[in-house]
Amino acid sequence: MQHWQQPSYEPYLPVTEKSNPITRDIDRANPEEIVQMLQKCDAEIFERTSHGNPMYQTLCSSSVVQTIVEVSKRVEVILKDPEDSLIVLSGCGTSGRIAFLLATSLNRWLASHHQKQIYSYIIAGGDKALLTSQESPEDDPFLGALTLDKACVGKKHVLFIGISCGLSAPFVAGQLDFCLRNLKIITPVLIGFNPVDMARTEPIQNCSFHFKEIAERMNELQKQKKAYVLNPAVGPEAISGSSRMKGGSATKVILETILLAGHEAACNNKAITFNGILHSLNKFEKVHQITYSHTKELAALVEKAAVSLRRKGHVYYLGWQTLGIIGIIDASECIPTFGAGFEDIRGFVSNGFSEMNNKEGDLSSLGPHFIIDHKDFVHTILPNLSDNDTVIFLYSENDDLNEVSALAKSVRQHTSNLHAIAHELTGLSDPDRMRSQFMAVLTIKWPSSLHKYNPVLMKQHCELSTKWCLNAISTGAHVLTGKVYMNYMIDLRVTNSKLYRRAIHILKRFTGSTQAYCETALLRAIYGIEELSDGMSSTNVTQHTLVANERGSVVPIALVMLQSRGTIAEAKSYLDAYSVIRDAVAACQRLL
């Protein structure tokens, strides 16, 4: 049995919030060890057995595979009769970004085959949440339901797939509740990575239900094939609670398996079978093995990125097609995850918003966070690029290699610190010519047996592989610059109720103080006052998170206050003296 599966291991936390024993000492590891730890954590996605623990199902458990078969058949039905039908993929944060990526990619594929585009995506906070963190709409069940209601207008058959890795987002709970009230038209599917028993039970403001009630009702309805719950346990995240990593990857694996099986059944008459689904999941496991067989090269990129961040330089991902979008997503998630500056790691995609193909179109007028085209990189970043910056190209053999070469040439005039992650599919390109353009190229060679020249599958594999590489680079670089304590990101932004609860847990974990004491310290840090008024303590969590959104470092301040029994001002001066969180915590522990 995996250590985290034991009932006594962090018993009060759902799997997605537990800390992963594999990465306990990630903050002391070197780049190669970091990549090896991430490899092991990601391998848990494909764990075959739950080691006799009835509490957990795994991705390959027969009940999970069977549910994937059932949902794929729903997709097939919709694709065969697309009139007045819709498949909606929805979620918050990373879950919404994965929904966007899949919905737009598959719509593009349908359009290129002169078929009706039947996919739609919803992300809490709208399209700006694709590129920036919009955590507060996650807490709004009514907004979720309203957005879904609008998307369904005029439709007679809707397959709704709501993603909440932690089975926790009120936005998704509101949507699922809406589905349950409209089962004649909508079939709801919930994807997440906790057993239903561990779904969130915290009351949702102005709501008669919480997430667990919805998940339980769906579980019941699954017997009549009116709703489906897909919730294998894939193990805790490498950085506790950071579901952009395993959660996002596992969501991608499950959804792509479902949707591809549905498409192949509808378009090629390929029957959807249990073994076929298992085979498809095994292929994704192979993608994991192939990607992480490049540990040394990946570790070298982690090191380069960390050096750039330490020298106050930058990391730039320049990608083509969806690999560019994966880069933009990874970069933008560093801001809320690690409290990174927006300039630290940035992503750009060839053809910018026309490649994104998002519902709200070109968002570049919204500000610098939304400047994503290679052309913008060339105009605004390139002139000031130096060896302190790390540039990583992301492309595959299917991209315009002349364009890749031309941009590489321009970048090389400013920095030699230029690298690439390149996907070789048929070996038809001229790898030597391409290799000579970069300091190093991490070439991932895909055996044709894996995708049998199926372009959709090839693309999905390259995307997931790139996601794993970039998650490793950005996470590893931030770990090496001291942003993480053990495997906890302590300096989290407390911008919604999930993060508020996580912050209190972290304070309890590191100080051993009571829940009430930790919550009081957190509120003191949020409101910046030593004595809380009665009104403040009784205000609802939403109000606290709105105020916390305006403040920096509230959790480290609360932590130091609890450890040193000092004032807010004293805690702040401590933190100012140490840039590495572990050092600040250790120093104030020495005080006691």
- Closer CB to ligand S6P, 87 or 165, in the complex: 165
End-to-end CA distance of the chain, in Å? 38
Q: Which stretch binds ligand S6P (CB under 6 A): 78-86, 224-232, 242-250, 391-399?
A: 242-250
Query: Which one among 17, 27, 138, 389 touches ligand S6P, defined by CB under 6 A?
Result: 138
Is the dihedral angle over the CA atoms 528, 505, 126, 249 positive or is it negative?
A: positive
Is the dihedral angle over the CA atoms 248, 216, 162, 167 positive or is it negative?
A: negative
19: DSSP letter: P
CB of 454 to ligand S6P, least distance (A): 29
Query: Which one among 31, 324, 327, 336 touches ligand S6P, defined by CB under 6 A?
Result: 336
CA angle in degrees (0–180, nearest 5) for 178-179-184: 125
CB of 261 to ligand S6P, least distance (A): 23
What are the strands of the beta sheet with 186-191, ordered from one edge? 119-123, 85-91, 157-163, 186-191, 228-230
Contact assessment for residue 56 and residue 195, using Cβ atoms and an 8 Å cutoff: yes
CB of 219 to ligand S6P, least distance (A): 18
Return the residues of window 306-335 that contact ligand S6P according to CB under 6 A: 333
Q: Which stretch binds ligand S6P (CB under 6 A): 25-33, 162-170, 357-365, 380-388?
A: 162-170
244 binds ligand S6P (CB under 6 A): yes
Return the residues of window 345-374 that contact ligand S6P according to CB under 6 A: none
Residue whose beta carbon is closest to ligand S6P:
93
CB of 31 to ligand S6P, least distance (A): 22
- Closer CB to ligand S6P, 321 or 466, in the complex: 466
- Closer CB to ligand S6P, 248 or 324, in the complex: 248
- How far CA 559 is from CA of 28, 370, 484, 550, in Å, comes to 21, 34, 14, 19
* Cβ burial, residue 208 (10 Å; 0-12/13-18/19+): exposed
- Closer CB to ligand S6P, 65 or 173, in the complex: 173
Q: Which stretch binds ligand S6P (CB under 6 A): 160-168, 296-304, 405-413, 416-424?
A: 160-168
Query: Which one among 20, 105, 337, 350 touches ligand S6P, defined by CB under 6 A?
Result: 337
- Closer CB to ligand S6P, 342 or 578, in the complex: 342
Closest to 380 in 3D by CA, of 316, 335, 474, 325: 316
CB of 133 to ligand S6P, least distance (A): 6
Distance, in Å, from the CA atom of 306 to the CA atom of 27, rounded to the nearest integer, reads 13
Closest to 333 in 3D by CA, of 260, 416, 397, 247: 247
Distance, in Å, from the CA atom of 525 to the CA atom of 332, rounded to the nearest integer, reads 26
- Closer CB to ligand S6P, 166 or 262, in the complex: 166
Cβ-proximal residues to 139 (8 Å cutoff; 6+ apart), any chain: 170, 171, 204, 205, 496, 497, 542, 545
- Closer CB to ligand S6P, 168 or 474, in the complex: 168
- Closer CB to ligand S6P, 17 or 373, in the complex: 17
Tokens representing 551? 């403040």
CB of 166 to ligand S6P, least distance (A): 3
Contact assessment for residue 332 and residue 131, using Cβ atoms and an 8 Å cutoff: yes
Q: Which stretch binds ligand S6P (CB under 6 A): 161-169, 213-221, 281-289, 472-480?
A: 161-169
CB of 462 to ligand S6P, least distance (A): 22
- Closer CB to ligand S6P, 37 or 92, in the complex: 92
- Closer CB to ligand S6P, 242 or 474, in the complex: 242
429: DSSP letter: S
CB of 85 to ligand S6P, least distance (A): 26
- Closer CB to ligand S6P, 134 or 563, in the complex: 134
Strands 390-396 and 345-349: unpaired
Strands 228-230 and 157-163: unpaired
What is the helix (H) or strand (E) element at residue 235, kind and residue range? none
Distance, in Å, from the CA atom of 500 to the CA atom of 286, rounded to the nearest integer, reads 37
Q: If binding means CB under 6 A, how many residues of this protein chain bind ligand S6P?
A: 19
CB of 251 to ligand S6P, least distance (A): 8
378: DSSP letter: I
Contact assessment for residue 466 and residue 326, using Cβ atoms and an 8 Å cutoff: yes
Closest to 454 in 3D by CA, of 270, 294, 327, 328: 270
CB of 541 to ligand S6P, least distance (A): 15
Return the residues of window 91-130 that contact ligand S6P according to CB under 6 A: 91-95
Site string for ligand S6P, 73-92 (x = CB under 6 A): ------------------xx
What is the number of H-type helices and E-type strands within the chain?
A: 24, 10
CB of 248 to ligand S6P, least distance (A): 7
Q: Where do the H-state alpha helices sit in 311-440?
A: 321-338, 352-356, 374-376, 401-412, 431-435
Contact assessment for residue 305 and residue 390, using Cβ atoms and an 8 Å cutoff: yes
Q: Which stretch binds ligand S6P (CB under 6 A): 41-49, 240-248, 363-371, 481-489?
A: 240-248
Q: Which stretch binds ligand S6P (CB under 6 A): 159-167, 305-313, 385-393, 584-592?
A: 159-167
CB of 12 to ligand S6P, least distance (A): 17
- Closer CB to ligand S6P, 174 or 247, in the complex: 247
Return the residues of window 163-182 that contact ligand S6P according to CB under 6 A: 163-166, 168-169
- Closer CB to ligand S6P, 88 or 272, in the complex: 88
The residue with tokens 């301040």 is 557
- Closer CB to ligand S6P, 326 or 571, in the complex: 326
CB of 93 to ligand S6P, least distance (A): 2
Query: Which one among 243, 332, 475, 487 touches ligand S6P, defined by CB under 6 A?
Result: 243
- How far CA 300 is from CA of 27, 295, 303, 413, in Å, comes to 17, 9, 5, 22
- Closer CB to ligand S6P, 31 or 96, in the complex: 96
State the residues that interact with ligand S6P by CB under 6 A: 91-95, 138, 163-166, 168-169, 242-244, 247, 333, 336-337
